[in-house]
Amino acid sequence: MISEKILREGLVNTIENTHLPIGELSRGKVRDCYEKGDNLVLVATDRLSAFDVVLTTIPFKGQVLNKLSDYWFKKTKHIINNHVLSVPDPNAMVVVKCEPLPIEMVVRAYLTGVTSTSIWTAYERGERIFCGHHLPDGMKKHQRLENPILTPSTKAEKGQHDRSLSKEEIISSGLVSVEDFELMENVATHLFVYGLSLSRTRGLILVDTKYEFGKTPEGKIVLIDEVHTPDSSRYWYENTYQGAFERGEDPKSFDKEYVRRWLKEELGYVGEGTIPKIPDHVRIEAARRYIEACECITGEQFLPDLEEPLKRFERNLF
Ligand SMILES: Nc1ncnc2c1ncn2[C@@H]1O[C@H](COP(=O)(O)OP(=O)(O)O)[C@@H](O)[C@H]1O
Ligand SMILES: [Mg+2]
């Protein structure tokens, strides 16, 4: 268990924006991406993004994300090759620069979510077809779907929300070819089934997740971005699921969902209007949950690197 003292000290050293002289920078919501020759250096910052906006920073979040992606990329190599070349720093990985395919492959096993684009929000509104999948009447919040479903979405421009589409809509729009789509569909399904079963052995439910694919300079499709991290996925503790579901409550979840829920319950914020200020106690609790997530998934103790980040970056990335 990580001490309160380390978490509290971590608050002042969080990585918000990096400015490293190592290549051209493009900033995602969470990662700073530097072009370095034919490669990219992806620096996982401590920014917390939810509802498609950056809300605050969370101590050690970048390290946790980097570690978990590294873990899952290694574990899933038998299903698909990925972009990772090396992991030279606790906050960074060097990856093959790819042409991202413009669709996020979302897979869901449960009827849940709180954002305006979530499957539960659509269901609650009365929609019974989601991305081409028929949903029966009478389902309850957090109920398991009969089978995991693929609900692809477009990658939204900055400040916009993603849009969920059916396979037919994607193919007819010409966003990706049928062959590419079917490869991604097949791989995403395998990855999810594998993630679900591995998580289960750790007492976790992989509720839903999102995969991104890219084409290498040789034209091969590989898994890019991040995989099965608490930022790209929702996890619940299995032992809290059944009881919570029956009582109509939320199962215990990791981090990002925790902050989203806090915002919704305490402030009624669901992503519209002025971004509220997140208090330190919520940032600390989120950090605790990210670290708990990491330890639970990997089965190993998380040892945060406490060195001043810039010094470390100079040594490891320049
Ligand atoms: N191997 C890769 N090649 C090209 N782009 C990549 C690769 N891996 C990840 N990316 C892109 O880098 C960005 C990662 O930063 P992130 O903070 O997740 O951004 P976003 O706000 O788009 O989610 C994403 O836009 C992702 O599509
Ligand atoms: Mg992202």
CATH number at residue 234: 3.30.470.20
Tokens of 120: 């539960």
- Domain-embedded: residue 309: no
* Pocket perturbation via mutation, ligand 1, pick of 16, 35, 225 by most ligand atoms within 8 A of CB: 225
- For residue 92, is pLDDT > 70? yes
The tens digit of pLDDT for each residue in 30-52 reads 999 999 999 999 999 999 998 88
- For residue 284, is pLDDT > 70? yes
The pair phi, psi for residue 28, each rounded to 5°, is: -85, -170
- Taking the CA of 212 as reference, the closest ligand is 1
287 Cβ below 6 A of ligand 1: no
- Taking the CA of 40 as reference, the closest ligand is 1
The tens digit of pLDDT for each residue in 133-177 reads 999 999 999 999 999 999 999 987 766 778 899 999 999 999 999
214 Cβ below 6 A of ligand 1: yes
- Domain-embedded: residue 75: no
- For residue 179, is pLDDT > 70? yes
* Mean pLDDT value across residues 103-122: 93
- Domain-embedded: residue 138: yes
* Mean pLDDT value across residues 211-220: 98
- Please tell me the predicted confidence (pLDDT) of residue 117: 84
- Domain-embedded: residue 227: yes
- For residue 114, is pLDDT > 90? no
- Please tell me the predicted confidence (pLDDT) of residue 111: 98
- Please tell me the predicted confidence (pLDDT) of residue 158: 65
- Please tell me the predicted confidence (pLDDT) of residue 160: 72
- Domain-embedded: residue 111: yes
Name the percent of the chain lying above pLDDT 90: 88
The pTM assigned to this predicted structure is 0.95
User: Is 109 in a helix, a strand, or coil?
Assistant: strand
Give me the amino acid identity at 186.
N
- Domain-embedded: residue 57: no
Burial of residue 106 (CB within 10 Å: 0-12, 13-18, 19+) is: buried
* Mean pLDDT value across residues 217-232: 97
- Domain-embedded: residue 198: yes
- Domain-embedded: residue 239: yes
Measure 89 CA to ligand 2 centroid, in angstroms: 19
* Mean pLDDT value across residues 192-214: 97
176 Cβ below 6 A of ligand 1: no
- Please tell me the predicted confidence (pLDDT) of residue 271: 84
Residue nearest to atom 13 of ligand 1 (CA): 28
pLDDT, the chain, mean? 95
Residue 260: pLDDT band with limits 50, 70, 90: confident
User: Helices (H) and strands (E) in the chain — how many of each?
Assistant: 9, 17
* Furthest CA-CA distance within the chain: 57
- Please tell me the predicted confidence (pLDDT) of residue 283: 96
Instruction: Give the number of domains in the chain.
Output: 1
Alpha helices (H) in the chain, listed in sequence order = 4-10, 61-75, 119-124, 167-173, 178-200, 238-247, 255-262, 280-298, 309-317
Q: What is the domain extent for residue 210?
A: 100-247
Tokens of 128: 């019974």
Lowest mean pLDDT among 9-13, 145-149, 271-275: 271-275
Measure 223 CA to ligand 1 centroid, in angstroms: 11
Residue 255: pLDDT band with limits 50, 70, 90: low
Tokens of 197: 């079963």
Gap between the Cα atoms of 233 and 205, Å rounded: 10
Measure 73 CA to ligand 2 centroid, in angstroms: 16
Higher-scoring residue by pLDDT: 264, 136: 136
- Please tell me the predicted confidence (pLDDT) of residue 289: 92
Measure 273 CA to ligand 2 centroid, in angstroms: 22
- Please tell me the predicted confidence (pLDDT) of residue 106: 97
Q: Dihedral of CA 74/76/77/82: which sign?
A: negative
- Please tell me the predicted confidence (pLDDT) of residue 261: 86
Q: Contact 259/139 with Cβ under 8 angstroms?
A: no
DSSP 59-72: TTHHHHHHHHHHHH
- Taking the CA of 100 as reference, the closest ligand is 1
- For residue 107, is pLDDT > 70? yes
Measure 248 CA to ligand 2 centroid, in angstroms: 30
